[in-house]
Amino acid sequence: MNIETRKLTLEDYDDLKESMQQAYDTLGGQIWSKVTIAKLLKLFPEGQLCIAVDEKVVACSLAIIVDYDEYGDKHTYQMITGAYTFSTHDPNGDTLYGIEIFVSPEYRGLRLGRRLYEARKELCESLNLKSIIAGGRIPGYHEYADKLSPRQYIDKVKAKELYDPTLTFQISNDFHVRKVLKNYLPGDHESKEFATLIEWNNIYYQGIDASARSAKTIRIGLVQWQMRLFPDIEAFYEQVEFFVDAVSGYKSDFIMFPEFFNTPLLQPYNHLPEMEAMRKLADQTAEIVERIQAYALSYNVNIISGSMPVVENNKLYNVTYLCHRSGKTDEYRKIHITPNEQKYYGMVGGDKIKVFDTDCGKIGILICYDVEFPELSRILADQGMQMLFVPFLTDTQNGYTRVRHCAQARAIENECYVAIAGCVGNLPKVNNMDIQFAQSAVFTPSDFAFPTNAVKAETTPNTEMMLVVDVDLHLLDELHHFGTVKILKDRRKDLYEVKLLK
């Protein structure tokens, strides 16, 4: 017999499924799907461990890393796993949280569970995590529930007066019980839906140093762009690079340009109908994005490139690009097209909305009118968004007021930061782009840790300038769990829901 403890792979799923079906018989046979296992392997491959006996996987341990202070001791399994999305996984957290461990019944005499626990402990030490925490079943409790409280039952197991197949094993592996959890895992009838919150402390833990903590403070740079005519595209690039250079000089993590900030380049096509002129401008988008991505690399800053027209399959889209300082490029296509964009340019809306992973956390991007539809940002919030970036273009104060107040509402209702950046001034000799009004800003949630007016900072209205702002993601973590109100948690999901259809 050959026994090997190693990292789990997706190729192991067939064996894993068979072992799960055997081990989960008492829980109604519910098992982890292949899609879920794939997600865990992508998020945290080091934390997914298995034991193969003669090359067949017969035991498994699944885990994520969390910042435990965000959840506290009263959490449920659904809460700690982000409703099974694992959006709660935080590589910068301090705790290894065990979300699953099992051994196929056919192999339980080989002490494979002990090997998995030892592998978890080694992982915890190697990652310099404070502890291992998990919610443990007490499957023997149903036999004593009519005469013992969960606490009394646990005390008797600890005193070895009673035997519980799970808790006895955990105690023998140096875990201690922190408290009893109610309604931790719905459907666990053997445990009467109670669980033990168990912990193993890493005595070699070195603590979190200042640099690790400061990684939660993110610096955002916004460009309030003056519309002006350029003699050629190189002059346009010079102005873009000027702002990238200036903002990166303050060691900003992000810089954002406004919606359609490149429309001064429409001037040579002003003799054409607006629809044709915009499609001519779209011919330059690929070159502009390539140049901006080069700036992101050379100036070490993530750039949200405002927005630009793109033609695909003869359809015209309004697209913004996230140029990562790592060299990667993502895109977002404006979903809600304004009547003006439809009338003058024949634009159509995109159909994809998702959170983008960056080296500074999870961000969302919406373009101008999109922020006036609260469903979009709520979907992003459910995907773990911490910062929402909104490049916009408004000609009148009425239009700006809609964008501003809707953006501020999105920050409050989704417990996130929202940054908006717009164009200012006048642009003669470009049809349909003649006047602009903007006041760029960064908005916050509304609670004691944030400004009383929920405005972190804002520019002078209608003046070309840049705004550099620090936001603290730790404050969002605290708000989610200890705020005066907890908007995301207090939603009545038994009555309503907002979900993405495609």
Let me know: does 10 contact 37? Beta carbons within 8 Å: yes
Let me know: does 222 contact 228? Beta carbons within 8 Å: no
Output the pLDDT for position 111.
82
Place of tokens 């993502």: 330
CA nearest to 367, candidates 338, 329, 334: 334
Q: Where are the beta strands (DSSP E) in 18-75?
A: 49-53, 56-66
CA nearest to 277, candidates 347, 370, 189: 347
Active centre residues (catalytic): 259, 334, 368
The radius of gyration of the chain's CA atoms, rounded to the nearest angstrom, is 27
Output the pLDDT for position 384.
92
Q: Where are the alpha helices (DSSP H) in 56-141?
A: 77-80, 112-126
Output the pLDDT for position 210.
39
Output the pLDDT for position 189.
84
Q: What string of DSSP letters covers 306-342? A: --EEEEETTEEEEEEEEE-TTS-EEEEE-SS--HHHH
Alpha-carbon torsion 159, 160, 161, 167, what sign? positive
Q: Virtual CA dihedral for 347, 348, 352, 355, nearest 10 degrees?
A: 30
Output the pLDDT for position 11.
95
What does the alpha-carbon distance between residue 243 and residue 255 come to, in Å, rounded to a whole number? 9
Output the pLDDT for position 2.
83
Tokens of 303: 């750039």
Burial class (CB in 10 A: 0-12, 13-18, 19+), 236: buried
pLDDT one digit per residue (tens) for the chain, 502 residues: 688 999 999 999 999 999 888 887 655 556 889 999 999 999 999 999 999 999 999 999 999 999 998 888 888 888 999 988 999 999 989 999 999 998 998 888 788 888 899 899 999 999 999 999 998 889 899 999 999 999 999 999 999 999 998 899 889 888 999 989 888 877 778 888 888 999 999 988 877 543 444 447 899 999 999 999 999 999 999 999 999 999 998 989 999 999 999 999 999 999 999 999 999 999 999 999 999 999 999 888 999 999 999 999 999 999 999 999 888 999 999 999 999 999 999 999 999 999 999 989 999 999 999 999 999 999 999 999 999 999 999 999 999 999 999 999 999 999 999 999 999 999 988 998 989 999 999 999 999 999 999 999 999 999 999 999 999 998 998 898 788 999 998 999 889 999 888 8
Collect all residues with Cβ–Cβ distance below 8 Å to 105 and sequence separation of at least 6: 22, 23
Burial class (CB in 10 A: 0-12, 13-18, 19+), 224: buried
Q: What string of DSSP letters covers 252-285? A: -SEEEEPTTTTGGGGGGGTTS-HHHHHHHHHTTH
Let me know: does 53 contact 110? Beta carbons within 8 Å: yes
What does the alpha-carbon distance between residue 51 and residue 109 come to, in Å, rounded to a whole number? 14
CA nearest to 418, candidates 363, 499, 379: 363
Q: What string of DSSP letters covers 343-382? A: HHH-B--------EEETTEEEEE--GGGGG-HHHHHHHHH
| Secondary structure class of 69 (helix, strand, coil) | helix
What does the alpha-carbon distance between residue 469 and residue 466 come to, in Å, rounded to a whole number? 10
Output the pLDDT for position 25.
65
What are the percentages of helix, strand and coil residues in the chain, rounded to 5?
35, 25, 40
Number of residues written out for the chain: 502
Output the pLDDT for position 212.
42
Q: For residue 325, which amino acid is it? A: R
Within 13 Å and on the Cβ side, how many CA atoms surround 60?
30
